[in-house]
């Protein structure tokens, strides 16, 4: 079956967090150096296979290092606004962090523009045997095996105060050749990161105060540049001497009262927040999660959750993700006992609103809709606080 105007975007998300240890060292939240299989970037039903790239001029573009500074600014502003909207400090631009992010973004670009990796962990610059000519030191943008090493080699001074690396990679296909600009995709990828629980919590660290982002595009290997485009966003954030002990009072949430234009659905994340349920997010996504954090508490227990669609007068079912249900207990990805996520389960909402292969299926929450979220938080088994707020989704994301 031919698709004369079919469009398809697939985004994958990766996370690394370095937390300051008591001895001043670092702890990597994704610290297995061996590469792990990444989810497939393209959906086979929509994207043609073995389509030759007859635009030889793109090979030079694919090999050049670049940063879309406007796209990077859009992403930085999205992260900073999300933080300040809910009571955290904003993020200032850090040229040194940006340089590290740009170099790593171009490392990923070079690998995917010049090969088709079957196993690739976006945080690592390790040698991969079947594509050794474009990985590790054979890649002209090699900066270090992992995030910690890249910070060290760059002599980045704030690494000791805690740093995070968040990566989003998207591919886009349009049979009509209507490809998105990197500015549009930078905003889309930033919003996706703000809907992915493990990324979201790293983007909401109270101690973070500086940031740097790399955004770049490429033509996927052996694909036609007229119809295919890849996008990469690498964001780094760090604390400073002045903010290393910064915290937030009371019950912190994201989204919070007044937040607008969130995504409607989460289609994937590494680490997988629903690993313990057997759910495949690419087929059955969940809605925009709610992050709950009480920094002053040792433990919290979230209960009596109401997730209410104001326009349609319906309650959305939810599941709770906290240290009790955590699929990564006793690992470096384990959730602290004073944090939790409320996950809206949107299987029955049928929120897909345009003519796509997903029409009539699950696309998360409804688009451009107000949702009231209310819940109780038992803090340290002593006192209960009731929290309630309204946030609004943006257009349905696919």
pLDDT of residue 353: 76
Average pLDDT, the chain: 85
Q: In this predicted model, what pLDDT tens digit does every residue of 201-221 receive, in sequence order? A: 999 999 999 999 999 999 999
> Within 13 Å, how many C-alpha atoms sit on residue 3's CB side?
16
- The Cα angle at residue 78 between residues 72 and 82, in degrees rounded to 5: 150
Q: Cis (ω within 30 of 0) for the bond into 271?
A: yes
Distances (CA, A) of 226 to 171, 176, 297: 13, 9, 53
Residue 7 has pLDDT above 60, yes or no: no
User: Which of 276, 286, 381 minimizes the C-alpha distance to 338?
Assistant: 381
The mean per-residue pLDDT over the stretch 239-247 comes to: 96
| Residue 60 confidence (pLDDT) | 46
Give me the pLDDT at residue 46, please: 28
Task: Estimate the crossing angle of helix 182-193 against helix 69-85, to 10 degrees.
Answer: 30
Q: Residue 9: helix, strand or coil by DSSP?
A: strand
- What's the CA gap between 65 and 139, in Å, rounded? 11
Residues 142-186: tens digit of each pLDDT: 999 999 999 999 999 999 999 999 999 998 888 888 888 999 999
Q: Is the pLDDT of residue 55 over 60?
A: no
Token output for 73: 């600014």
Give the contacts of 305 (CB within 8 A, at least 6 positions apart): 318, 320, 342, 373, 374, 375
Using CA atoms, how far apart are residues 215 and 119, in angstroms rounded to an integer? 22
pLDDT tens digits along 82-99 = 999 999 999 999 999 999
Asked whether the predicted pLDDT for residue 273 surpasses 50, the reply is yes
pLDDT at 317 over 50: yes
Residue recorded with tokens 């959906």: 43
> Sign of the CA dihedral 185, 186, 189, 190?
negative
Residue 20: is its pLDDT beyond 60?
Answer: no
Tell me what percent of the residues of the chain surpass a pLDDT of 90: 76
CA-nearest of 382, 215, 202 to 297 is 382
pLDDT for res 214 = 97
pLDDT, average across residues 315-342: 95
pTM of this structure: 0.85
Task: Say what the alpha-carbon torsion angle 220, 222, 225, 230 is, to the nearest 10 degrees.
Answer: -10
């Amino acid at each position: 079956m031919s698709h004369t105007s079919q469009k398809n975007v697939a985004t994958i998300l990766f996370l690394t967090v370095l937390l300051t240890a008591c001895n001043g060292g670092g702890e990597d939240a994704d610290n297995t150096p061996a590469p792990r299989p990444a989810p497939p970037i393209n959906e086979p039903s929509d994207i043609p296979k073995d389509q030759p790239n007859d635009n030889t001029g793109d090979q030079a573009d694919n090999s050049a290092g670049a940063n879309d500074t406007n796209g990077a600014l859009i992403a930085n502003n999205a992260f900073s606004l999300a933080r300040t909207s809910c009571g955290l400090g904003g993020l200032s631009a850090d040229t040194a962090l940006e340089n590290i992010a740009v170099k790593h973004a171009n490392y990923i670009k070079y690998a995917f523009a010049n090969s088709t990796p079957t196993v690739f962990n976006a945080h690592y610059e390790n040698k991969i045997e079947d594509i050794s000519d474009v990985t590790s030191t054979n890649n002209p943008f090699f900066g270090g095996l992992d995030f910690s090493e890249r910070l060290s080699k760059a002599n980045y001074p704030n690494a000791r105060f805690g740093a995070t690396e968040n990566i989003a990679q998207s591919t886009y296909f349009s049979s009509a050749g209507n490809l998105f600009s990197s500015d549009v995709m930078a905003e889309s990828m930033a919003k996706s990161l703000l809907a992915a629980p493990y990324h979201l919590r790293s983007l909401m660290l109270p101690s973070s105060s500086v940031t740097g982002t790399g955004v770049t595009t490429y033509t996927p290997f052996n694909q036609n540049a007229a119809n295919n485009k890849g996008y990469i966003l690498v964001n780094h954030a760090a604390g400073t001497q002045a903010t290393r002990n910064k915290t937030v009072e009371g019950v912190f949430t994201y989204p919070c009262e007044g937040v607008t234009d969130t995504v409607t659905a989460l289609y994937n994340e590494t680490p997988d927040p629903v690993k313990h349920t057997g759910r495949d997010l690419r087929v059955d996504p969940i809605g925009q999660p709610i992050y709950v954090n009480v920094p002053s508490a040792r433990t919290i227990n979230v209960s009596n959750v109401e997730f209410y669609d104001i326009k349609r007068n319906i309650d959305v079912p939810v599941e709770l993700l906290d240290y009790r249900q955590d699929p990564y207990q006793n690992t470096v990805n384990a959730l602290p006992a004073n944090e939790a996520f409320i996950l809206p389960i949107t299987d029955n909402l049928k929120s897909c609103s345009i003519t796509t292969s997903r029409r009539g299926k699950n696309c998360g929450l409804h688009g451009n809709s107000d949702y009231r979220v209310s819940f109780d938080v038992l803090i340290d088994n002593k006192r209960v606080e009731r929290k309630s707020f309204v946030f609004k989704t943006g257009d349905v994301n696919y």
